[in-house]
Amino acid sequence: MMDEREDRFDEILREAARDYNAPPATPRAEMWERIQAVRRSDGQADGILPFRPTVRLSARPTVRLAMAVAAVLVLGVAIGRFTAPDSASNPTPTTIGPIADATTETAERPNVATQVATSNHLSQVETFLTEFGTSPGTPDFTDQAKDLLGTTRMLLDSKRVVDARTRTLLEDLELILAQIATLDSKDRREDLNFIADGLAQNQLRTRLRNAIPAGPAIRL
């Protein structure tokens, strides 16, 4: 009696189980194409068929390393070509030296007014950063930072600022000034540490001093 019930239950079970993960139509053609592609891609080269292409790749770290190096090189060349100023039309002075360099040929020299404006701006930023460094908690620094950030961006947008070192310096300053300009009035300790680290790592004050011609500091 018990066996009969079990048999009947098993039969019903089998019947119901036929719907368990009922398979859809077999994607024959797609799978065949992929099998052929995998076999063609590697199997014929050395007589050994790969189980999966990814397994093959992971088994050859030297190939991966070479591909990574090549990719970095290509990326670097591409970035360099996009970002480097056109040396034929815009010769790059080696230092900012705004007044001294102004004696070179008229066609090649950068606009003197731009150089003076840049020097003034860098001097203002240096003063600002020195004051900020001594009392970073003062709230009105954010407004000054916003003003200086605006000028920094304007100079970066100007095609007349062609010196590569000056542009790099302005880009680094832009980042620091943006951080100061967006300082939260509360809980700013972490941000201040971050800014201090950025100033130190980029040697911003030293670079600023080197870029500014000798003379009195410009008051903000």
Partner 1 sequence: MEQRDLVTRVLQGDPGAERELYDAHVDRVYRLAYRMVGDSELAADYTQDTFIRTFERLATFRGESALSTWITAIAISVVYNGQRKVRRLRTREVELEHAEPVAATIRRADPDLKARLNQAIGELPEGYRTVFLLHDVEGYTHEQIGSALGIQEGTSKAQLSRARAKLRTELAAFAGDVAS
Q: Give the interface segment with partner 1, choosing from 14-22, 90-98, 127-135, 173-181 (CB under 8 A).
A: 14-22
Taking every pair of Cα atoms in the chain, the longest distance, rounded to a whole number of angstroms, is: 114
Is the distance from CB of 141 to CB of 169 less than 8 angstroms?
no
57 binds partner 1 (CB under 8 A): no
User: How many C-beta neighbours within 10 Å does residue 218 have?
Assistant: 15
Nearer to partner 1, 8 or 209 (CB): 8
Is position 14 an interface residue for partner 1 (rule: CB under 8 A)?
Answer: yes
Which of residues 24 and 216 has its CB atom nearest to partner 1 in the complex?
A: 24
Is residue 12 at the binding interface for partner 1, with CB under 8 A as the rule?
A: yes
CA–CA distance, 11 with 13 (Å, rounded to integer): 5
How far are the Cα atoms of 13, 119, 141 from residue 205, in angstroms, in the given order? 80, 14, 17
**Contact letters (x/-) for partner 1, 109-148, by CB under 8 A?**
----------------------------------------
Does 9 help bind partner 1 (rule: CB under 8 A)?
A: yes
Tell me the site size for partner 1, rule CB under 8 A: 32
Distance CA 85, CA 110 (A): 13
Cβ atoms 167, 92 nearer than 8 A: no
| Interface ranges with partner 1 (CB under 8 A) | 5-6, 8-10, 12-14, 16-21, 23-24, 26-28, 30-32, 34-35, 38-39, 43, 48-52
